[in-house]
């Protein structure tokens, strides 16, 4: 295929001697980040000092949030950046169930562990029970307060049907929290249009924000007045600098903020998001499906390999292969310059980031695996 | 006095045309930070990519924590860096009261607001009541589960007696959580020796970690096995990469971790901490008391000025002045190159960071204020 994104790779600082297929774990650095951070440290912090807080820093969580909003189908004023995904999951879940007369939180049984762990803690503190369930058989009913689902499964790369599952939750009066960690930057997402209740996501995978860059939380405008999240730090206050004794949450998405925002990481992420300017998510999606299809086609029949990522369109941009010696194989691939990762016990993961990965790389990676087998 | 810290100022990137007295809000940048961040982005992230997680990133929260431990009298393995102060307060307070049969959380009535807000949320979620109290009249008894105190008051600069108040809490069987935001890097602190139960602090004031740099949480070794904090993110798991369905906390301080650590900010802080190498906190304290004493002496009798920071040794390294036109005065001081800050309604704050502030600066600032009055 002709690649409408071929020019975007130049915006990344990637060595040519590696095939980097772990952008689903840690995205590669956009070139703009190092330069921007240098300006943030030397000029904004060093020369403007405390004054920078009123020259753009304070509003950064919402401003950068709006940039992510564009990638997830959220109109401005509904996404805030800050804290980790785990912390935002806690805000979302406790906020979702506060005051409910329902009794259970349902979580995808195969979820990324942190979602289950945090859901367990949120359930314990709010007096609800936690029920892990298969996304194909959620059995939601009027006992269900909220269901937490991963849009793309971290292990298999499977994509869930956000529209259908959101509707199913709403049919029984339950809320749904979507974890977008493995789908933001992968495919068009329509949070507003689908009436999603809450969503969280990380920014260090396909958004290339850097190691441990701050996560985001989506709360739709209509739900904001009733959203009472538990991490009532001062920056979520309606008038943070009034230093009032009583906590009065911000009227809007600001109430999802907790402590002082981490500016260095926030502005590194801001710089990293520049690579999305002029990029259409439909192009990203088309190329991602093509890259993963090409790779799957090449490795499908290799000895001992089982492809566990769906071959139809119900996948993200990650291909997961099962092999009994997955750990050894990945170590050898990495030693040879093909970088994916291994998830115990027996899964090899290869992430394809359409902004910088090429079809040639998909072929080189498949070839390297073939030679090891 | 001769200044044993005079050479340390050279380690900071500070312009000579400003008198920067707001290090109690945002410390000035150590020169090492910009260079280190450049290496982290270009080499560690850009060249080593995902491999850096096993080349020092993963352990950074505890490694940097131990460096802060040295500044607060904590033996290794008891301090972890990550998240904001607000988030760590929530971990500390919920962890402190879990399973208690006591009924109240007590908080310093004049506390920095976030402490009170978070304490209110922790109380609500755990079913306890919150009682604000004057630190001079805490009235602790067998109903008190935990008391949360600010070591140095953000508004007045007053220093509380950590030894005496910790002992008072322990006499009635209550725990104490110390907020060290305005005292870490200011004076020698002896958490281990005083038997403090839990402590939190920020790193962007006198530790110069950068805007919104990650905070820290201290949990003494003996208390770690029983410390169940509510933000059970995957990185606090005993075996995070086993991706187990059940949450089993790390045996040690690692259980205080939540989500993926923010590496750019963490390693900026790590670089910033280099300025403490070879520095004795006793020298920092002596110079800080002398700087603040000199400034107070010069401004004490200015018209309309009331010094609200204690004149005896019971203060941090901040001088707070009350004046009916505090907001206007501070704006004019800043316009003239003397940077402090204003806390509503009528408080002017001047922070003295002994690592980089000089006696000449104390005099220039006093002179500037005098000319305005």
| Interface membership of A335 toward B (CB under 8 Å) | no
Task: Give every residue of chain A whose pLDDT is below 70, as ranges.
Answer: 1
Q: Do A113 and B86 touch (CB under 8 A)?
A: no
Using an 8 Å CB-CB cutoff, list chain A residues near B26: 45, 49-50, 53
Specify the pLDDT at position B116. 94
Residue A349 designated active-site: yes
In order of A119, B22, B204, B275, the CA distances from B337 in angstroms are 50, 12, 21, 25
Yes or no: say if B107 and B119 are a contact pair by the CB < 8 Å rule: yes
Closest CB to B28: pick one of A49, A240, A245. A49
Specify the pLDDT at position A57. 98
Find the distance separating the first CA and the last CA of chain A, reported in whole Å.
29
Q: Is the pLDDT of residue B110 over 90?
A: no
A221 is in an annotated binding site: no
Specify the pLDDT at position A1. 60
Its ipTM equals 0.97
Instruction: Name all domains of chain B by residue range, CATH numbers in brackets.
Output: 6-31+280-372 (3.90.1150.10), 38-276 (3.40.640.10)
Give, in degrees to the nearest 5, the angle at Cα A207 between A86 and A250: 55
Task: Locate all alpha helices (DSSP H) within chain A, ordered by sequence.
Answer: 32-39, 60-72, 85-97, 113-126, 162-171, 191-194, 263-272, 281-299, 326-335, 359-372
Q: What is the dihedral of CA A21, A25, A30, A36, to 10 degrees?
A: -160
Q: Is the pLDDT of residue B64 over 90?
A: yes
CA nearest neighbour of A346 among A328, A360, A362, A367: A328
CA distance B296 to B292: 6
Backbone angles phi, psi at B51, to 5 degrees: -65, -25
Q: Is B212 left (phi over 0), alpha (psi -120 to 50) or beta?
A: left
Beta bridge partners of A178: A149, A199
User: In chain A, whose CA is at the least distance from the CA of B18?
Assistant: A47
Helix or strand (DSSP H, E) at A129: strand A129-133
Q: Is the pLDDT of residue B138 over 80?
A: yes
Specify the pLDDT at position A224. 98
User: Could you tell me how many CB contacts below 8 A there are between chain A and chain B?
Assistant: 258
In order of A112, B231, B234, B288, the CA distances from A118 in angstroms are 11, 6, 9, 43
Closest CB to A22: pick one of B50, B235, B264. B50
Percentage above 90 pLDDT, chain B: 95
Sheet holding A347-351, edge to edge: A306-307, A318-322, A347-351, A341-343
In which residue are the tokens 């990638």 written? A71
Residue A300 designated active-site: no
Q: Which of residues 191-230 of A touch B (CB under 8 A)?
A: 202, 204, 210-215, 230
Using an 8 Å CB-CB cutoff, list chain B residues near A202: 260
Specify the pLDDT at position B1. 59
Q: Which of B32, B45, B201 to mutate to test the interface with A (most CBs of A within 10 A)?
A: B45
Long-range contacts formed by A75-79: CB under 8 A, 24+ apart? A75/A192, A75/A221, A77/A221, A77/A252, A77/A253, A78/A191, A78/A192, A78/A218, A78/A219, A78/A220, A78/A221, A78/A224, A78/A253, A79/A216, A79/A217, A79/A218, A79/A253
How does the average pLDDT of chain B come out, rounded? Answer: 96
Q: Can you say which residues of B are annotated as belonging to the binding site for pyridoxal 5'-phosphate?
A: 85-86, 112-115, 179, 182, 204, 234, 260
CA distance B197 to B92: 9
Band (pLDDT 50/70/90 cuts) for residue B310 is very high
The DSSP secondary structure of A91-126, one letter per residue, reads HHHHHHHTT----EEEEETT--HHHHHHHHHHHHHH
CA distance B328 to A364: 65
Q: Which of B34, B114, B181 to mutate to test the interface with A (most CBs of A within 10 A)?
A: B114
Residue A117 designated active-site: no
CA distance A113 to A104: 19
Specify the pLDDT at position A62. 98
Sheet holding B144-150, edge to edge: B79-81, B216-218, B198-201, B175-179, B144-150, B104-108, B129-133
Q: Do B262 and A261 touch (CB under 8 A)?
A: no
Q: Which of residues 24-43 of B touch A (CB under 8 A)?
A: 25-26, 28-29, 33-34, 37-38, 41-42
Find the distance separating the first CA and the last CA of chain B, reported in whole Å.
29
User: In chain A, whose CA is at the least distance from the CA of B110?
Assistant: A245
Yes or no: say if B37 and B271 are a contact pair by the CB < 8 Å rule: yes
């Amino acid at each position: 295929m002709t690649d409408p994104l071929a020019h975007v790779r130049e915006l990344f600082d990637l060595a040519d001697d590696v095939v980097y297929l772990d952008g689903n774990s840690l995205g590669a650095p956009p070139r703009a980040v190092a330069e921007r951070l240098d300006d943030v440290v030397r000029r904004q912090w060093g020369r403007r000092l405390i004054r920078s807080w009123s020259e753009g820093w304070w509003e950064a969580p919402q401003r950068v949030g709006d940039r992510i909003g564009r990638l997830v189908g959220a109109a401005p004023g509904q996404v805030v950046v800050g804290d980790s995904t785990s912390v935002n999951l806690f805000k979302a879940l406790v906020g979702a169930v506060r005051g409910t007369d329902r009794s259970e939180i349902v979580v995808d049984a195969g979820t990324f562990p942190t979602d289950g762990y945090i859901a367990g803690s949120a359930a314990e503190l709010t007096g609800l029970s936690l029920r892990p369930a298969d996304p194909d058989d959620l059995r939601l009913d009027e006992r269900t307060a909220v269901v937490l689902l991963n849009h793309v499964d971290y292990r298999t790369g499977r994509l869930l049907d956000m529209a259908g599952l959101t509707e199913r939750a709403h049919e029984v009066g339950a809320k749904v929290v979507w974890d977008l960690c493995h789908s933001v930057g992968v495919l068009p997402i329509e949070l507003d249009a689908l009436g999603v209740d809450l969503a969280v996501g990380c920014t260090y995978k396909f958004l290339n924000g850097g190691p441990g860059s701050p996560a985001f939380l989506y709360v739709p405008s209509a739900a904001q007045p009733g959203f009472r999240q538990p991490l009532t730090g001062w920056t979520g206050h309606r008038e943070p600098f009034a230093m009032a004794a009583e906590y009065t949450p911000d009227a809007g998405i600001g109430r999802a903020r907790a402590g002082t925002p981490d500016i260095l990481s926030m502005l590194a992420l801001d710089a990293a998001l520049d690579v999305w300017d002029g990029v259409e998510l439909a192009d990203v999606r088309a190329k991602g499906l093509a890259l993963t299809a090409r790779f799957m086609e090449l490795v499908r029949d290799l000895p001992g390999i089982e492809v566990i990522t769906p071959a139809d369109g119900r996948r993200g941009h990650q291909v997961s292969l099962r092999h009994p010696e997955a750990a050894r194989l990945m170590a050898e691939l990495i030693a040879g310059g093909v970088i994916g990762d291994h998830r115990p016990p027996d899964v090899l993961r290869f992430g394809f980031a359409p902004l910088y990965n090429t079809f040639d790389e998909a072929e080189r990676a498949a070839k390297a695996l073939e030679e090891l087998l």
